[in-house]
Structure 1
């Protein structure tokens, strides 16, 4: 009998995680869906099962280690041993640091960083007994190059990289057959920009170019299939950002100070009392399934070069360097 992969995905009610769940459904995998929002989880179950997979939805707050442990036990009792664990769940606050409350900053850190740590712990404790399995951390270009207005989120993404590097060296020391890899993402058209806690005067937006969640999901699945590489970059903008940070970080500081506030807002005014998901899921109150996509479909790319980049690391670096130098030259001409 053919073994069906058992895949766990956190944050699976929307965005990249939801799109990734659908891809595993197409493979006929057994997919465990972890998130807080019930409407989004119900929609994700339908996505997976219509695609041909088997779904198990477990309402879970990843900031709570005990909830993740209980979910992992339920998954293995119901679906079987976990083969792949994908950490995606996050939350954020769009505001200058002086407008963020300490409890809000802590909550972002607990979900967006410690949620990865706790998920990895839950997966690793089970994978170690079998000496096999793969853990995928869905990161961001902002984990290497921070931008204004997202200090809590950027800090969490930086922390994920450091945590994962440490874990990787421990697994290497143990000669373990467990793999852990990171997928660094570009700006993605997810619902988060419509439900994130924001103190900006206008509607938040991802910094263009924007990619559809399916592009990111293909990158996640590819990384899970080829986890021996420590890191993958999805999208040309991620390449340019990460290489540019290595070449000219001070220049990027000045560029982002000049453009970063405006680039993260549309022209649409939003009220300070709009619903947000920092403490409770938005779909838990509205009962509305937001799906994978955000409100920027018309501006988003449905294709990306992440698979080509994954096979051509040298060309990827050269292209990123050229893009970074070009951007620097353009910025200097404007000064």
Structure 2
């Protein structure tokens, strides 16, 4: 399948050669020293050089690394809904997107611990420009989404990505993870972009592109961090947006976000599986609406599921009360938790800058508003 060569992960037959390319890289040494602090370099290198499949690389090296990240930078990971997924079954996981690496890494760790099919995961090619990161991402079963394209080039790239995802799900029985939008949500207001859903249908032949969703199992995923380790790094873009200014990333911004996301303080983390959308998709498919309307309906369903399944932490409720100047959710946090959050706020932003404070608080408060909207929608239906 040569058309996928520009975006696909390595095949198992290529895994060992790829490992040998990066095993002596200083970044690999740093990763393994962190993951296996009591192991010798000679030992982990020997194990790595005898690794011949992507799964073995993920389970023996990536998974322990993820567990070490949780140990060092969080107060633990909780999960819900995984018992409703079936073994040996491929799912299209669509989730809100907070962290460049951890969102999909934590999902895969949870899938592994529950005996479920691991994912191949979408990653923007802007994040893997460095040769080491490019090779590592392919060993970790990531496939690249081309960024910054326009016109015909964008369409062709989207068609290839769509065909690769379809092949993974329907021919290889391999689960796929993709974010609900291009790039991470910066303001905490998670929303599914219809363009992502449109891209998924591009590989469907015939006159009913929406029929693609009836052939696969779509599962919305909610992931929430009590503290967003990259919250302050998102502020410049939010401020530019507030001023209707164009935001231009700095040269190493993506890499800095990647590192801060891994090692920054997160406190508690929760991943919620929000069921399979078989019934909802079947209902949308029955309508006489055009494709655009059907995709909008599906995006709305995914949003409602992600919002309702989002684990709200004290940080979310505190931010909401501070933002709106009331104590509506005071029963959901303690005075000690509020003081700790306010201390974090003051250490991160210039509190004399009202716009900066508003943007920072909104990042944590918007999930509360969205869940409230979701509950309201459930009552109405």
Does TM, normalized by the shorter one, top 0.5?
no
TM-score, normalised relative to structure 1: 0.38
TM-score, normalised relative to structure 2: 0.34
> By percentage of residues, which structure has more helix?
2
> By percentage of residues, which structure has more strand?
1
